Structure 1
């Protein structure tokens, strides 16, 4: 209690959580500070790009469909078996009427 949270490498946020990866800025060294800013911008850009990919549901669905097509072409037996089972269930349902 009363201890500076920055002293142990964390930062207390207003919501009570601790921020990981606290960056200690180089005081008095503008070149080092600029390098840190550029590195942070680069990391932030990578993070935004990764989030954009995750948020693109349409592209994820398209990729999944392509994966399933490739899998079905390389090993069609499970797909054929599922079709036979489905046809059998439909035939049973019709026969029971």
Structure 2
């Protein structure tokens, strides 16, 4: 015959001990996982690598779309290159004249 020592049902105490052991085991596993710095760093690096790859893919898609849109716009509205060249030449002359006045 098992004595209860005034603490209640022995089977209930055994079940309480089993439950406490299970919780303790889970706590130990959680602490071991937190203490495994190498595994945590690998996981963090993998997550960062995945985020960077995803953002790079999105950026590449955005750039391709922008280049395509700019090309389409240029084909629909051709700018006379002579006007662009004349503007660049005028700007160069103004810059050279300004430099000449300073020196």
Length-normalised TM-score, structure 2: 0.48
Q: Give the number of equivalent residue pairs.
A: 54
Ranked by relative contact order (alpha carbons within 8 Å, sequence separation 6 or more), the top structure is: 1
Deviation at 1:29, TM superposition (A): 1.0
4+ residue segments displaced more than 2 Å: none
Larger radius of gyration: 2
Unpaired runs of at least 5, structure 1 = 1-25, 78-97
The corresponding residue for 2:13 is 33
Q: Which structure shows the higher helix fraction?
A: 2
Q: Which structure shows the higher strand fraction?
A: 1
Please give the alpha-carbon distance, in whole angstroms, between the structure 2 residues aligned to 1:28 and 1:58: 46
Unpaired runs of at least 5, structure 2 = 1-5, 58-103
Q: Say what the alpha-carbon RMSD is for the aligned residues.
A: 2.3
Please give the alpha-carbon distance, in whole angstroms, between the structure 1 residues aligned to 2:8 and 2:55: 64
* SS in structure 1 of the partner of residue 21 of structure 2: helix
Please give the alpha-carbon distance, in whole angstroms, between the structure 2 residues aligned to 1:55 and 1:76: 33
